[in-house]
Structure 1
Amino acid sequence: MQTWFAHLSDPHLTTLEQVKPLKILGKRLLGYISWRRKRRFEHRPEVLASLQQHLQQQPSDVQLLVTGDLTHIGLPDEFTQAAHWLRQLGEPDAIAVIPGNHDACVALPWRQGLGQWQDYLKSDTPQQDTFPSLRVRSGIAFIGVSSACPKPPLMATGTVGTEQLAKLAGLLKETRAQGLFRVVYIHHPPKTGVVKWRKRLTDAPQLSAMLQREGAELVLHGHGHRAQQYSLPGATGDIPVIATPSASAMGLHGADIAQYNRYGIESTAEGWNLTAITNSYDKQDAVFRTGAARQWQLKRQ
Protein backbone atom coordinates (compact mmCIF):
# COMPACT_ATOMS: atom_id res chain seq x y z
CA MET A 1 0.00 0.00 0.00
CA GLN A 2 1.37 3.41 -1.00
CA THR A 3 1.44 6.45 1.26
CA TRP A 4 1.21 9.74 -0.62
CA PHE A 5 2.46 13.25 0.07
CA ALA A 6 2.92 16.36 -2.06
CA HIS A 7 5.56 19.05 -2.56
CA LEU A 8 5.35 22.58 -3.94
CA SER A 9 7.75 25.48 -3.81
CA ASP A 10 8.25 29.18 -4.49
CA PRO A 11 4.58 30.22 -4.78
CA HIS A 12 5.46 33.94 -4.41
CA LEU A 13 1.80 34.41 -3.59
CA THR A 14 1.81 37.93 -2.18
CA THR A 15 1.01 41.23 -3.85
CA LEU A 16 2.95 44.47 -3.37
CA GLU A 17 0.27 46.72 -4.90
CA GLN A 18 -0.21 48.65 -1.66
CA VAL A 19 3.52 49.10 -1.01
CA LYS A 20 4.91 52.64 -1.20
CA PRO A 21 8.40 52.28 -2.71
CA LEU A 22 9.64 55.52 -1.14
CA LYS A 23 9.23 53.88 2.29
CA ILE A 24 11.42 50.85 1.55
CA LEU A 25 15.18 50.85 1.08
CA GLY A 26 18.10 48.63 0.14
CA LYS A 27 17.49 45.03 -0.85
CA ARG A 28 13.73 45.35 -0.44
CA LEU A 29 13.61 48.24 -2.90
CA LEU A 30 15.53 46.19 -5.46
CA GLY A 31 13.07 43.34 -4.91
CA TYR A 32 10.12 45.69 -5.32
CA ILE A 33 11.49 46.96 -8.65
CA SER A 34 11.92 43.35 -9.79
CA TRP A 35 8.32 42.61 -8.81
CA ARG A 36 7.00 45.74 -10.55
CA ARG A 37 8.88 45.04 -13.79
CA LYS A 38 8.67 41.24 -14.01
CA ARG A 39 7.56 39.06 -11.11
CA ARG A 40 3.96 40.27 -10.90
CA PHE A 41 3.43 39.03 -14.45
CA GLU A 42 5.19 35.68 -13.89
CA HIS A 43 3.68 34.68 -10.51
CA ARG A 44 -0.09 34.72 -10.84
CA PRO A 45 -2.91 34.26 -8.30
CA GLU A 46 -5.09 32.48 -10.88
CA VAL A 47 -2.41 29.78 -11.19
CA LEU A 48 -2.41 29.30 -7.42
CA ALA A 49 -6.22 29.11 -7.41
CA SER A 50 -6.03 26.32 -9.98
CA LEU A 51 -3.32 24.62 -7.92
CA GLN A 52 -5.47 24.65 -4.80
CA GLN A 53 -8.41 23.18 -6.72
CA HIS A 54 -6.23 20.40 -8.13
CA LEU A 55 -4.77 19.58 -4.72
CA GLN A 56 -8.26 19.25 -3.26
CA GLN A 57 -9.24 16.78 -5.99
CA GLN A 58 -6.36 14.40 -5.21
CA PRO A 59 -6.60 11.44 -2.82
CA SER A 60 -5.88 12.42 0.76
CA ASP A 61 -2.14 13.09 1.31
CA VAL A 62 -0.47 12.67 4.70
CA GLN A 63 1.52 15.88 4.26
CA LEU A 64 2.01 18.83 1.92
CA LEU A 65 5.53 20.27 1.93
CA VAL A 66 6.05 23.93 0.98
CA THR A 67 9.73 24.76 0.51
CA GLY A 68 9.83 28.51 0.88
CA ASP A 69 9.55 31.82 -0.96
CA LEU A 70 5.93 32.47 -0.17
CA THR A 71 6.72 36.21 -0.23
CA HIS A 72 8.61 38.58 -2.55
CA ILE A 73 10.49 40.95 -0.21
CA GLY A 74 9.59 39.65 3.26
CA LEU A 75 7.39 42.50 4.50
CA PRO A 76 5.24 41.88 7.62
CA ASP A 77 2.07 42.30 5.52
CA GLU A 78 3.35 39.66 3.10
CA PHE A 79 3.71 37.20 5.97
CA THR A 80 0.12 38.00 6.92
CA GLN A 81 -1.06 37.37 3.34
CA ALA A 82 0.83 34.08 3.26
CA ALA A 83 -0.63 32.99 6.61
CA HIS A 84 -4.12 33.55 5.21
CA TRP A 85 -3.24 31.53 2.08
CA LEU A 86 -1.90 28.67 4.19
CA ARG A 87 -5.10 28.57 6.25
CA GLN A 88 -7.11 28.33 3.02
CA LEU A 89 -4.86 25.50 1.85
CA GLY A 90 -5.32 23.34 4.95
CA GLU A 91 -4.69 22.69 8.64
CA PRO A 92 -1.17 23.10 10.08
CA ASP A 93 -0.96 19.41 10.97
CA ALA A 94 -1.21 18.54 7.26
CA ILE A 95 1.07 21.28 5.86
CA ALA A 96 4.76 21.67 6.67
CA VAL A 97 6.55 24.88 5.65
CA ILE A 98 10.14 26.08 5.58
CA PRO A 99 11.22 29.62 4.59
CA GLY A 100 13.15 30.64 1.48
CA ASN A 101 15.60 33.45 0.79
CA HIS A 102 12.82 35.89 -0.22
CA ASP A 103 11.15 35.26 3.15
CA ALA A 104 14.44 36.26 4.81
CA CYS A 105 15.11 39.31 2.66
CA VAL A 106 15.93 41.30 5.80
CA ALA A 107 15.86 40.44 9.49
CA LEU A 108 12.42 40.75 11.10
CA PRO A 109 11.14 40.28 14.65
CA TRP A 110 9.68 36.77 15.00
CA ARG A 111 6.10 37.91 15.54
CA GLN A 112 6.12 40.14 12.46
CA GLY A 113 7.63 37.49 10.20
CA LEU A 114 7.92 33.72 10.49
CA GLY A 115 6.04 33.72 13.78
CA GLN A 116 2.85 34.28 11.75
CA TRP A 117 3.40 30.81 10.22
CA GLN A 118 4.50 29.18 13.47
CA ASP A 119 1.95 26.35 13.45
CA TYR A 120 3.03 25.37 9.92
CA LEU A 121 6.73 25.37 10.83
CA LYS A 122 6.68 23.36 14.03
CA SER A 123 7.63 19.75 14.70
CA ASP A 124 5.33 17.09 16.11
CA THR A 125 6.93 17.53 19.53
CA PRO A 126 7.88 20.89 21.10
CA GLN A 127 11.54 21.83 20.73
CA GLN A 128 13.64 24.86 21.53
CA ASP A 129 14.80 25.51 17.96
CA THR A 130 12.37 25.57 15.06
CA PHE A 131 14.78 23.90 12.59
CA PRO A 132 15.49 21.24 11.67
CA SER A 133 11.86 20.23 12.14
CA LEU A 134 10.54 16.67 12.31
CA ARG A 135 7.11 15.31 11.51
CA VAL A 136 6.41 11.58 11.28
CA ARG A 137 3.45 10.39 9.21
CA SER A 138 2.66 6.78 8.22
CA GLY A 139 6.24 5.57 8.36
CA ILE A 140 7.72 8.69 6.73
CA ALA A 141 10.02 11.13 8.55
CA PHE A 142 9.63 14.64 7.10
CA ILE A 143 12.72 16.64 8.11
CA GLY A 144 12.60 20.37 7.34
CA VAL A 145 15.87 22.31 7.03
CA SER A 146 16.03 26.10 6.85
CA SER A 147 18.59 27.70 4.54
CA ALA A 148 16.94 31.13 4.79
CA CYS A 149 18.93 34.00 6.33
CA PRO A 150 19.43 37.66 5.39
CA LYS A 151 22.11 38.24 2.76
CA PRO A 152 23.58 41.35 1.05
CA PRO A 153 21.80 43.00 -1.90
CA LEU A 154 21.90 41.06 -5.19
CA MET A 155 22.70 37.84 -3.31
CA ALA A 156 20.15 35.00 -3.06
CA THR A 157 22.39 32.54 -1.28
CA GLY A 158 21.39 30.42 1.71
CA THR A 159 23.21 28.86 4.65
CA VAL A 160 22.23 25.93 6.87
CA GLY A 161 24.87 26.52 9.56
CA THR A 162 26.97 24.17 11.69
CA GLU A 163 24.48 23.89 14.54
CA GLN A 164 21.57 22.92 12.32
CA LEU A 165 23.78 20.48 10.36
CA ALA A 166 24.75 18.71 13.57
CA LYS A 167 21.12 18.39 14.66
CA LEU A 168 20.11 17.19 11.20
CA ALA A 169 22.73 14.44 11.37
CA GLY A 170 21.26 13.31 14.69
CA LEU A 171 17.72 13.25 13.29
CA LEU A 172 18.79 11.24 10.24
CA LYS A 173 20.58 8.71 12.43
CA GLU A 174 17.63 8.44 14.81
CA THR A 175 14.95 8.06 12.11
CA ARG A 176 17.07 5.53 10.21
CA ALA A 177 17.25 3.40 13.36
CA GLN A 178 13.45 3.57 13.53
CA GLY A 179 13.17 2.22 9.98
CA LEU A 180 11.49 5.35 8.61
CA PHE A 181 11.57 6.65 5.04
CA ARG A 182 13.51 9.90 5.46
CA VAL A 183 12.49 12.95 3.39
CA VAL A 184 14.73 16.02 3.76
CA TYR A 185 13.20 19.21 2.38
CA ILE A 186 15.08 22.47 1.99
CA HIS A 187 14.78 25.61 -0.13
CA HIS A 188 18.26 25.76 -1.72
CA PRO A 189 19.80 22.86 -3.66
CA PRO A 190 22.13 20.69 -1.54
CA LYS A 191 24.66 20.36 -4.38
CA THR A 192 27.05 22.92 -5.86
CA GLY A 193 26.64 23.92 -9.50
CA VAL A 194 22.88 23.42 -9.65
CA VAL A 195 22.14 27.17 -9.57
CA LYS A 196 24.18 30.31 -10.18
CA TRP A 197 26.94 31.20 -7.72
CA ARG A 198 24.98 34.12 -6.25
CA LYS A 199 22.04 31.77 -5.58
CA ARG A 200 23.96 28.83 -4.12
CA LEU A 201 23.82 27.17 -0.73
CA THR A 202 27.07 28.36 0.83
CA ASP A 203 27.60 25.19 2.87
CA ALA A 204 26.32 22.73 0.26
CA PRO A 205 29.57 20.70 0.44
CA GLN A 206 29.12 20.21 4.19
CA LEU A 207 25.45 19.25 3.76
CA SER A 208 26.27 16.80 0.95
CA ALA A 209 29.05 15.24 3.01
CA MET A 210 26.73 14.82 5.99
CA LEU A 211 24.06 13.21 3.80
CA GLN A 212 26.71 10.86 2.44
CA ARG A 213 27.58 9.80 6.00
CA GLU A 214 24.05 9.48 7.38
CA GLY A 215 21.97 8.76 4.28
CA ALA A 216 18.39 9.71 3.39
CA GLU A 217 15.77 8.34 1.03
CA LEU A 218 14.72 11.56 -0.73
CA VAL A 219 15.75 15.23 -0.82
CA LEU A 220 13.36 17.90 -2.14
CA HIS A 221 14.04 21.57 -2.90
CA GLY A 222 12.94 24.56 -4.96
CA HIS A 223 14.66 27.95 -5.37
CA GLY A 224 15.82 27.65 -8.98
CA HIS A 225 12.30 27.70 -10.48
CA ARG A 226 13.35 24.70 -12.57
CA ALA A 227 12.30 21.06 -12.69
CA GLN A 228 15.48 19.14 -11.89
CA GLN A 229 16.43 15.61 -10.92
CA TYR A 230 19.81 14.28 -9.82
CA SER A 231 21.25 12.18 -7.01
CA LEU A 232 23.67 12.34 -4.10
CA PRO A 233 25.66 9.43 -2.69
CA GLY A 234 24.36 8.25 0.68
CA ALA A 235 25.47 5.82 3.36
CA THR A 236 22.60 3.47 2.55
CA GLY A 237 22.46 4.06 -1.23
CA ASP A 238 22.09 6.88 -3.75
CA ILE A 239 19.65 9.60 -2.67
CA PRO A 240 17.23 10.96 -5.31
CA VAL A 241 17.13 14.77 -5.29
CA ILE A 242 14.15 16.41 -7.00
CA ALA A 243 13.47 20.12 -7.50
CA THR A 244 10.16 21.60 -8.57
CA PRO A 245 9.55 24.94 -10.35
CA SER A 246 7.57 27.79 -8.87
CA ALA A 247 4.00 26.76 -8.08
CA SER A 248 2.63 30.03 -9.53
CA ALA A 249 4.78 30.54 -12.64
CA MET A 250 3.29 31.35 -16.03
CA GLY A 251 6.50 30.19 -17.71
CA LEU A 252 7.30 33.52 -19.36
CA HIS A 253 10.58 34.16 -21.20
CA GLY A 254 11.41 30.45 -21.44
CA ALA A 255 11.09 29.71 -17.72
CA ASP A 256 9.48 26.51 -16.43
CA ILE A 257 5.72 26.68 -16.04
CA ALA A 258 4.08 26.01 -12.66
CA GLN A 259 4.32 22.47 -11.29
CA TYR A 260 4.00 20.50 -8.10
CA ASN A 261 4.83 16.87 -7.38
CA ARG A 262 3.10 14.04 -5.55
CA TYR A 263 5.09 11.15 -4.13
CA GLY A 264 4.02 7.63 -3.25
CA ILE A 265 6.02 5.48 -0.81
CA GLU A 266 5.62 1.71 -0.57
CA SER A 267 7.64 -0.51 1.74
CA THR A 268 9.26 -3.63 0.25
CA ALA A 269 11.38 -6.48 1.56
CA GLU A 270 14.52 -4.74 0.24
CA GLY A 271 13.63 -1.15 1.07
CA TRP A 272 11.08 1.09 -0.64
CA ASN A 273 9.45 1.83 -3.96
CA LEU A 274 9.25 5.55 -4.69
CA THR A 275 6.77 6.98 -7.20
CA ALA A 276 6.81 10.61 -8.37
CA ILE A 277 3.99 12.21 -10.35
CA THR A 278 4.39 15.72 -11.78
CA ASN A 279 1.34 17.97 -12.08
CA SER A 280 1.77 20.90 -14.49
CA TYR A 281 -0.25 24.02 -15.26
CA ASP A 282 -1.98 24.09 -18.64
CA LYS A 283 -2.16 27.75 -19.70
CA GLN A 284 -4.65 27.12 -22.47
CA ASP A 285 -7.27 25.56 -20.19
CA ALA A 286 -6.07 27.25 -16.97
CA VAL A 287 -5.95 23.97 -15.04
CA PHE A 288 -3.31 21.65 -13.59
CA ARG A 289 -2.93 18.33 -15.35
CA THR A 290 -1.45 15.11 -14.01
CA GLY A 291 1.53 13.71 -15.90
CA ALA A 292 3.26 10.34 -16.12
CA ALA A 293 4.74 8.56 -13.12
CA ARG A 294 8.46 8.02 -12.48
CA GLN A 295 9.60 5.21 -10.22
CA TRP A 296 12.66 4.24 -8.20
CA GLN A 297 13.48 1.09 -6.28
CA LEU A 298 15.44 2.13 -3.22
CA LYS A 299 17.33 -0.80 -1.73
CA ARG A 300 18.12 -0.16 1.90
CA GLN A 301 19.43 -2.38 4.67
Structure 2
Amino acid sequence: MALIIVLMLFAILSVLMTEIQFRQNRFLKRADNLLQWDKRHQYAMAAEVVAQQGLIDDLQDDIKNNAQLDDCVEEQWAVQLPPTPYEDAFLSASVQDLQGRYNLNWLISPEAEGFVRQPDRIRELEQLLTEILPDQSNPGRLAYEMADWLDSNNIVDDAQGAEDPEYRDRRTPNMPAAHESELRALLGFQATDMPEDPMSWGLLTALPPGTTLNVNTAPQQVLNAVVGSLAGQEGVQAIMDTRKEEPISDIGTLLAMPAFSELEEEDQDLLRSRLGVGSEYFQVMVDVEVDGQLSRLVTRLFRGGGEGESTAVISRQVSPLLTPLEPACNPFYKVE
Protein backbone atom coordinates (compact mmCIF):
# COMPACT_ATOMS: atom_id res chain seq x y z
CA MET A 1 0.00 0.00 0.00
CA ALA A 2 2.82 2.39 0.89
CA LEU A 3 4.51 1.67 -2.42
CA ILE A 4 1.29 2.35 -4.31
CA ILE A 5 0.84 5.66 -2.46
CA VAL A 6 4.43 6.67 -3.28
CA LEU A 7 3.93 5.85 -6.96
CA MET A 8 0.68 7.83 -7.03
CA LEU A 9 2.36 10.84 -5.41
CA PHE A 10 5.25 10.59 -7.86
CA ALA A 11 2.81 10.45 -10.79
CA ILE A 12 0.87 13.47 -9.46
CA LEU A 13 4.08 15.44 -8.92
CA SER A 14 5.27 14.55 -12.42
CA VAL A 15 2.02 15.81 -13.93
CA LEU A 16 2.21 19.01 -11.88
CA MET A 17 5.83 19.64 -12.85
CA THR A 18 5.03 19.05 -16.52
CA GLU A 19 2.10 21.48 -16.37
CA ILE A 20 4.17 24.10 -14.55
CA GLN A 21 6.97 23.79 -17.08
CA PHE A 22 4.51 23.99 -19.99
CA ARG A 23 2.86 27.11 -18.60
CA GLN A 24 6.21 28.70 -17.84
CA ASN A 25 7.46 28.06 -21.37
CA ARG A 26 4.24 29.44 -22.82
CA PHE A 27 4.51 32.53 -20.61
CA LEU A 28 8.14 33.08 -21.64
CA LYS A 29 7.26 32.64 -25.31
CA ARG A 30 4.37 35.07 -25.03
CA ALA A 31 6.56 37.61 -23.23
CA ASP A 32 9.27 37.22 -25.88
CA ASN A 33 6.72 37.70 -28.68
CA LEU A 34 5.42 40.86 -27.02
CA LEU A 35 8.93 42.21 -26.54
CA GLN A 36 9.82 41.44 -30.16
CA TRP A 37 6.61 43.05 -31.39
CA ASP A 38 7.26 46.13 -29.26
CA LYS A 39 10.82 46.33 -30.62
CA ARG A 40 9.56 46.22 -34.21
CA HIS A 41 6.90 48.80 -33.38
CA GLN A 42 9.47 51.17 -31.87
CA TYR A 43 11.69 50.83 -34.94
CA ALA A 44 8.67 51.63 -37.13
CA MET A 45 7.83 54.67 -35.00
CA ALA A 46 11.41 55.90 -35.38
CA ALA A 47 11.15 55.58 -39.17
CA GLU A 48 7.84 57.45 -39.04
CA VAL A 49 9.54 60.35 -37.23
CA VAL A 50 12.20 60.50 -39.94
CA ALA A 51 9.49 60.62 -42.62
CA GLN A 52 7.69 63.40 -40.75
CA GLN A 53 10.88 65.43 -40.61
CA GLY A 54 11.38 64.89 -44.33
CA LEU A 55 7.90 66.28 -45.02
CA ILE A 56 8.59 69.29 -42.78
CA ASP A 57 11.95 69.96 -44.46
CA ASP A 58 10.27 69.76 -47.87
CA LEU A 59 7.61 72.27 -46.82
CA GLN A 60 10.19 74.68 -45.43
CA ASP A 61 12.17 74.40 -48.66
CA ASP A 62 9.01 75.15 -50.67
CA ILE A 63 8.29 78.20 -48.53
CA LYS A 64 11.85 79.43 -48.95
CA ASN A 65 11.60 79.07 -52.74
CA ASN A 66 8.06 80.47 -52.81
CA ALA A 67 6.84 77.38 -54.67
CA GLN A 68 4.51 75.31 -52.50
CA LEU A 69 3.88 72.34 -54.71
CA ASP A 70 4.38 68.58 -54.49
CA ASP A 71 5.16 66.14 -57.26
CA CYS A 72 6.42 62.58 -57.59
CA VAL A 73 9.84 63.35 -59.02
CA GLU A 74 11.84 66.00 -57.19
CA GLU A 75 10.38 65.95 -53.68
CA GLN A 76 12.52 64.90 -50.73
CA TRP A 77 9.77 62.69 -49.36
CA ALA A 78 9.06 60.89 -52.67
CA VAL A 79 11.84 58.38 -52.12
CA GLN A 80 11.47 54.72 -51.19
CA LEU A 81 13.79 53.22 -48.59
CA PRO A 82 14.84 49.69 -49.65
CA PRO A 83 15.42 47.00 -46.99
CA THR A 84 18.10 48.67 -44.87
CA PRO A 85 19.90 47.07 -41.90
CA TYR A 86 19.60 48.93 -38.61
CA GLU A 87 21.08 47.22 -35.55
CA ASP A 88 19.31 43.83 -35.49
CA ALA A 89 16.48 44.82 -37.88
CA PHE A 90 15.78 45.51 -41.54
CA LEU A 91 13.62 48.55 -42.31
CA SER A 92 11.75 49.42 -45.52
CA ALA A 93 9.65 52.57 -45.89
CA SER A 94 7.82 54.73 -48.41
CA VAL A 95 5.62 57.83 -48.40
CA GLN A 96 2.48 58.25 -50.50
CA ASP A 97 0.57 61.41 -51.37
CA LEU A 98 -3.05 60.83 -50.37
CA GLN A 99 -4.22 63.87 -52.34
CA GLY A 100 -3.25 62.13 -55.55
CA ARG A 101 -6.08 59.63 -54.98
CA TYR A 102 -9.83 59.74 -55.46
CA ASN A 103 -11.47 60.97 -52.28
CA LEU A 104 -14.62 58.98 -51.46
CA ASN A 105 -15.92 61.93 -49.42
CA TRP A 106 -16.26 63.96 -52.60
CA LEU A 107 -19.57 62.13 -53.01
CA ILE A 108 -21.09 64.44 -50.41
CA SER A 109 -21.06 68.15 -49.72
CA PRO A 110 -21.47 69.74 -46.26
CA GLU A 111 -24.64 71.83 -46.34
CA ALA A 112 -26.82 73.44 -43.69
CA GLU A 113 -29.16 70.44 -43.73
CA GLY A 114 -26.30 67.94 -43.45
CA PHE A 115 -24.18 65.99 -45.92
CA VAL A 116 -25.81 66.11 -49.36
CA ARG A 117 -24.95 63.68 -52.15
CA GLN A 118 -23.33 64.97 -55.35
CA PRO A 119 -24.65 63.15 -58.47
CA ASP A 120 -21.69 64.17 -60.66
CA ARG A 121 -19.21 62.80 -58.14
CA ILE A 122 -21.12 59.52 -57.98
CA ARG A 123 -20.70 59.09 -61.73
CA GLU A 124 -16.98 59.83 -61.35
CA LEU A 125 -16.59 57.08 -58.77
CA GLU A 126 -18.54 54.68 -60.95
CA GLN A 127 -16.15 55.38 -63.83
CA LEU A 128 -13.11 54.81 -61.63
CA LEU A 129 -14.48 51.59 -60.14
CA THR A 130 -15.22 50.35 -63.66
CA GLU A 131 -11.50 50.57 -64.40
CA ILE A 132 -10.20 48.84 -61.27
CA LEU A 133 -12.82 46.23 -60.32
CA PRO A 134 -13.28 42.84 -62.04
CA ASP A 135 -15.67 42.63 -64.99
CA GLN A 136 -18.36 40.79 -63.00
CA SER A 137 -18.63 43.64 -60.48
CA ASN A 138 -21.36 46.26 -60.45
CA PRO A 139 -19.54 49.60 -60.06
CA GLY A 140 -22.73 51.61 -60.46
CA ARG A 141 -24.37 49.89 -57.53
CA LEU A 142 -21.29 50.35 -55.34
CA ALA A 143 -21.06 54.06 -56.22
CA TYR A 144 -24.70 54.75 -55.32
CA GLU A 145 -24.49 52.63 -52.17
CA MET A 146 -21.40 54.60 -51.15
CA ALA A 147 -23.34 57.84 -51.56
CA ASP A 148 -26.16 56.51 -49.38
CA TRP A 149 -23.55 55.33 -46.88
CA LEU A 150 -22.25 58.90 -46.53
CA ASP A 151 -25.24 61.24 -46.98
CA SER A 152 -27.24 62.45 -43.99
CA ASN A 153 -30.68 61.27 -45.04
CA ASN A 154 -32.07 57.75 -44.64
CA ILE A 155 -33.75 57.74 -48.04
CA VAL A 156 -32.66 55.44 -50.86
CA ASP A 157 -32.16 58.07 -53.54
CA ASP A 158 -31.51 55.62 -56.38
CA ALA A 159 -32.72 52.18 -57.29
CA GLN A 160 -29.18 50.82 -56.78
CA GLY A 161 -28.68 52.50 -53.40
CA ALA A 162 -29.01 51.07 -49.88
CA GLU A 163 -29.87 52.61 -46.53
CA ASP A 164 -30.38 51.31 -42.97
CA PRO A 165 -33.37 49.02 -43.71
CA GLU A 166 -31.28 47.06 -46.23
CA TYR A 167 -28.49 46.34 -43.72
CA ARG A 168 -29.08 43.72 -41.05
CA ASP A 169 -25.99 43.89 -38.85
CA ARG A 170 -24.90 47.52 -39.26
CA ARG A 171 -26.12 51.03 -39.94
CA THR A 172 -24.99 53.64 -42.45
CA PRO A 173 -22.83 56.27 -40.67
CA ASN A 174 -24.39 59.23 -42.53
CA MET A 175 -21.10 61.12 -42.29
CA PRO A 176 -17.76 61.31 -44.14
CA ALA A 177 -15.81 58.07 -44.35
CA ALA A 178 -12.77 57.65 -42.12
CA HIS A 179 -11.01 55.16 -44.41
CA GLU A 180 -11.45 53.89 -47.95
CA SER A 181 -11.92 50.35 -46.61
CA GLU A 182 -15.49 51.37 -45.72
CA LEU A 183 -16.23 50.59 -49.36
CA ARG A 184 -15.97 46.92 -48.40
CA ALA A 185 -18.77 47.32 -45.85
CA LEU A 186 -21.34 48.18 -48.53
CA LEU A 187 -24.26 45.83 -49.05
CA GLY A 188 -23.36 45.11 -52.67
CA PHE A 189 -19.63 44.52 -52.15
CA GLN A 190 -18.68 40.86 -52.56
CA ALA A 191 -15.42 38.98 -52.14
CA THR A 192 -15.30 38.61 -55.93
CA ASP A 193 -15.21 42.42 -56.22
CA MET A 194 -11.67 42.57 -54.86
CA PRO A 195 -9.35 44.03 -57.53
CA GLU A 196 -6.92 41.59 -59.08
CA ASP A 197 -4.16 44.09 -58.47
CA PRO A 198 -4.11 44.96 -54.72
CA MET A 199 -2.36 48.22 -55.57
CA SER A 200 -5.66 49.42 -57.04
CA TRP A 201 -6.72 50.37 -53.52
CA GLY A 202 -4.02 53.02 -53.83
CA LEU A 203 -6.36 54.93 -56.15
CA LEU A 204 -8.87 55.58 -53.34
CA THR A 205 -8.72 57.48 -50.07
CA ALA A 206 -10.96 59.14 -47.49
CA LEU A 207 -10.13 62.77 -46.70
CA PRO A 208 -12.25 65.81 -45.75
CA PRO A 209 -14.83 66.55 -48.49
CA GLY A 210 -13.25 69.84 -49.60
CA THR A 211 -9.74 68.46 -50.09
CA THR A 212 -8.28 69.18 -53.53
CA LEU A 213 -6.76 66.72 -55.97
CA ASN A 214 -3.05 67.22 -56.60
CA VAL A 215 -2.64 67.20 -60.39
CA ASN A 216 1.10 66.62 -60.03
CA THR A 217 0.68 63.25 -58.31
CA ALA A 218 -2.70 61.97 -59.47
CA PRO A 219 -2.53 58.85 -61.69
CA GLN A 220 -4.24 58.73 -65.05
CA GLN A 221 -7.19 56.66 -63.76
CA VAL A 222 -8.10 59.35 -61.23
CA LEU A 223 -7.56 62.17 -63.72
CA ASN A 224 -9.86 60.39 -66.17
CA ALA A 225 -12.64 60.42 -63.57
CA VAL A 226 -12.17 63.93 -62.19
CA VAL A 227 -10.82 65.95 -65.13
CA GLY A 228 -11.95 63.79 -68.03
CA SER A 229 -15.61 64.20 -67.10
CA LEU A 230 -15.33 67.94 -67.89
CA ALA A 231 -12.32 68.44 -70.16
CA GLY A 232 -12.27 65.06 -71.86
CA GLN A 233 -9.20 63.02 -72.70
CA GLU A 234 -7.53 66.13 -74.13
CA GLY A 235 -7.52 67.76 -70.69
CA VAL A 236 -6.11 64.63 -69.04
CA GLN A 237 -3.37 64.35 -71.64
CA ALA A 238 -2.53 68.03 -71.26
CA ILE A 239 -1.89 67.53 -67.54
CA MET A 240 0.23 64.43 -68.10
CA ASP A 241 2.28 66.03 -70.87
CA THR A 242 2.86 69.21 -68.87
CA ARG A 243 4.06 67.51 -65.70
CA LYS A 244 6.52 65.38 -67.68
CA GLU A 245 8.56 68.51 -68.33
CA GLU A 246 8.18 70.12 -64.91
CA PRO A 247 5.65 70.17 -62.06
CA ILE A 248 2.49 72.21 -62.60
CA SER A 249 2.92 75.26 -60.37
CA ASP A 250 -0.42 77.00 -60.77
CA ILE A 251 -3.95 75.84 -61.60
CA GLY A 252 -4.69 79.13 -63.32
CA THR A 253 -1.89 78.49 -65.80
CA LEU A 254 -3.24 74.98 -66.39
CA LEU A 255 -6.75 76.25 -67.10
CA ALA A 256 -5.35 78.73 -69.64
CA MET A 257 -4.24 75.83 -71.86
CA PRO A 258 -6.31 75.15 -74.99
CA ALA A 259 -7.79 71.95 -73.55
CA PHE A 260 -9.36 73.97 -70.70
CA SER A 261 -9.72 77.53 -72.00
CA GLU A 262 -12.73 76.63 -74.14
CA LEU A 263 -14.68 75.21 -71.21
CA GLU A 264 -17.63 77.12 -69.83
CA GLU A 265 -16.82 79.44 -66.93
CA GLU A 266 -18.84 77.29 -64.56
CA ASP A 267 -16.78 74.21 -65.41
CA GLN A 268 -13.54 76.14 -65.07
CA ASP A 269 -14.57 77.38 -61.61
CA LEU A 270 -15.41 73.82 -60.61
CA LEU A 271 -11.99 72.55 -61.69
CA ARG A 272 -10.31 75.49 -59.98
CA SER A 273 -11.99 74.58 -56.70
CA ARG A 274 -11.23 70.85 -56.97
CA LEU A 275 -7.67 70.84 -58.30
CA GLY A 276 -4.44 71.84 -56.60
CA VAL A 277 -0.68 71.56 -57.01
CA GLY A 278 0.31 70.82 -53.39
CA SER A 279 -0.63 68.32 -50.72
CA GLU A 280 -1.28 68.28 -46.99
CA TYR A 281 -2.24 64.64 -46.41
CA PHE A 282 0.33 61.87 -46.64
CA GLN A 283 0.72 58.20 -45.78
CA VAL A 284 3.87 56.59 -44.38
CA MET A 285 4.31 52.82 -44.70
CA VAL A 286 7.08 51.09 -42.73
CA ASP A 287 8.00 47.39 -42.81
CA VAL A 288 10.26 46.05 -40.05
CA GLU A 289 11.83 42.61 -39.93
CA VAL A 290 13.55 41.26 -36.80
CA ASP A 291 14.66 37.62 -36.58
CA GLY A 292 12.40 36.64 -39.46
CA GLN A 293 9.30 38.27 -37.93
CA LEU A 294 7.62 41.07 -39.87
CA SER A 295 5.49 44.06 -38.88
CA ARG A 296 3.95 46.87 -40.93
CA LEU A 297 2.92 50.27 -39.60
CA VAL A 298 0.74 52.52 -41.76
CA THR A 299 0.51 56.12 -40.55
CA ARG A 300 -1.54 58.91 -42.06
CA LEU A 301 -0.31 62.45 -41.51
CA PHE A 302 -1.54 66.00 -41.95
CA ARG A 303 1.16 68.51 -42.82
CA GLY A 304 0.16 72.11 -42.24
CA GLY A 305 0.73 74.57 -45.05
CA GLY A 306 2.17 77.45 -43.03
CA GLU A 307 5.68 78.17 -41.83
CA GLY A 308 6.31 76.87 -38.33
CA GLU A 309 3.52 74.28 -38.53
CA SER A 310 4.40 70.65 -37.91
CA THR A 311 2.84 67.41 -39.00
CA ALA A 312 0.00 65.80 -37.05
CA VAL A 313 -0.79 62.11 -36.94
CA ILE A 314 -4.32 61.33 -38.12
CA SER A 315 -4.23 57.57 -37.65
CA ARG A 316 -1.87 54.65 -37.09
CA GLN A 317 -2.68 51.13 -38.20
CA VAL A 318 -0.75 47.91 -37.70
CA SER A 319 -1.54 46.17 -40.99
CA PRO A 320 -1.02 42.57 -42.10
CA LEU A 321 1.55 42.11 -44.85
CA LEU A 322 -0.93 40.94 -47.48
CA THR A 323 0.49 43.12 -50.26
CA PRO A 324 3.94 44.49 -51.13
CA LEU A 325 5.03 47.82 -49.71
CA GLU A 326 3.47 50.58 -51.81
CA PRO A 327 5.99 52.51 -53.93
CA ALA A 328 6.84 56.04 -52.97
CA CYS A 329 4.36 58.76 -53.93
CA ASN A 330 1.92 56.86 -56.15
CA PRO A 331 2.23 53.39 -57.69
CA PHE A 332 0.30 54.47 -60.80
CA TYR A 333 2.09 57.75 -61.42
CA LYS A 334 3.99 56.56 -64.50
CA VAL A 335 1.03 54.76 -66.09
CA GLU A 336 0.45 56.25 -69.53
TM-score, normalized by length of structure 2?
0.25
Please say which structure displays the higher CA radius of gyration. Answer: 2
| Higher strand fraction (1 or 2) | 1
By relative contact order (CA 8 Å, sep 6+), the higher-ranking structure is 2
